[in-house]
Chain A
């Protein structure tokens, strides 16, 4: 089996894109956001992360990317018998980047062709299995995002920084709001999403009951 490391080293090209704006981080003072406002912010965060643009590749331990949402009609696993494997990027069978090309630069034209596989400037892959969002409730997603054991060891500012960092590499976060083709973008905007994550965190990361 060829090494996974090789695939990673092949793909981290320097990205300089001017065409799509990234979000900025403006950290609110801790305690400056009420619990009620924080819960409302989390509800918007959940609308984003449970949207097909995000959740289709935030799937569980079966390592199956999903095809769901208005672009696909009925919900089903990714066609072509695709399984991303434990590597989450298909190294065991068919690497995602066989079809989902790693771009040198993510621009507004990068995903212009309808029904073609989407592409970003990071190698296509599923999110780590701990970040399972597909089919999960708001309470479950909130618990996962609040737990450093399952969120990449991040606090709430770290989560917001992760979003901006990924977008800055022309990655999946940027793509979520610029999916191209006939795909519906994630709701709100990248900036609104970053602001909502920060507001939720500043309110003490309150979680909904359900």
Chain B
């Protein structure tokens, strides 16, 4: 089975019902996306497929259509995505377990809606849980990233 992740094509020998998250973490050693609940209740496993946020624990590899981007492919330490920069600026992460999913969902939000209101942010980010309760910082960082992208 073939898939493209962060611009690189991979061939994996797995059953078609294996979730994409398993393929990424166990087969390709791409461990940015996290396992939280396994049933799309938490958002920790969020990646992009052709630019759209998707819960990778729910997407069987046999159902994958499109190119995958994980947090590793969103930006690099030398060339951070605006959301990643804002995350550092606001020191959003506490334990950090949910943050790769949060950042991928926030990047998807800003691609669709460059100037989100608080209500827009809540509507999109409501499916990404943070058990440390960093939601006020997540909101602030998304507003900062939006402003940075507007300047660019």
Contact = CB atoms under 8 A, between A and B. Distances in A.
Nearest to B58: A101
Interface stretch (B4-12, B88-96, B118-126, B142-150): B118-126
Given A1-B112, A97-B54, A99-B55, A116 B40 contact: yes
A104 B60 CA distance: 10
Given A117-B39, A117-B58, A80 B127 contact: yes
A70 to B, nearest CB: 19
Nearest to B116: A93
Contacts of A14: none
Contacts of B59: 101
A94 B106 CA distance: 11
Contact of B123 (A93, A103, A109): A93
A91 to B, nearest CB: 8
Contacts of B40: 99, 116-117
> Which one of A1, A99, A102, A104 has the greatest number of beta carbons of chain B within 10 Å?
A99
B113 A104 contact: no
B124 A93 contact: yes
A102 B60 CA distance: 10
Contacts of A93: 120, 123-124
Contacts of B39: 113, 115-117
Interface in A7-52: 7, 10, 13
Interface string A83-98: 1000000011111011
B36 to A, nearest CB: 13
Interface in A47-95: 80-83, 91-95
> Which one of B38, B46, B62, B123 has the greatest number of beta carbons of chain A within 10 Å?
B123
Contacts of B122: 81
A104 B63 contact: yes
Given A99-B58, A116-B58, 15 more contacts: A2-B112, A7-B52, A80-B126, A80-B127, A82-B123, A93-B124, A94-B124, A97-B54, A101-B54, A101-B60, A104-B62, A104-B65, A113-B38, A117-B40, A117-B58
Interface of A: 1-2, 7, 10, 13, 80-83, 91-95, 97-99, 101-104, 109, 113, 115-117, 119
**Sorted from nearest, which 6 A-B pairs have the closest CB atoms?**
A81-B126, A93-B123, A99-B40, A116-B39, A80-B127, A80-B126
Interface of B: 17, 38-41, 46, 50-55, 58-60, 62-63, 65-66, 111-113, 120, 122-124, 126-127
20 contacts: A2-B111, A80-B126, A81-B122, A81-B123, A82-B126, A94-B126, A94-B127, A98-B46, A98-B52, A98-B54, A99-B40, A101-B55, A102-B63, A113-B38, A113-B39, A115-B41, A116-B38, A116-B39, A117-B39, A117-B40
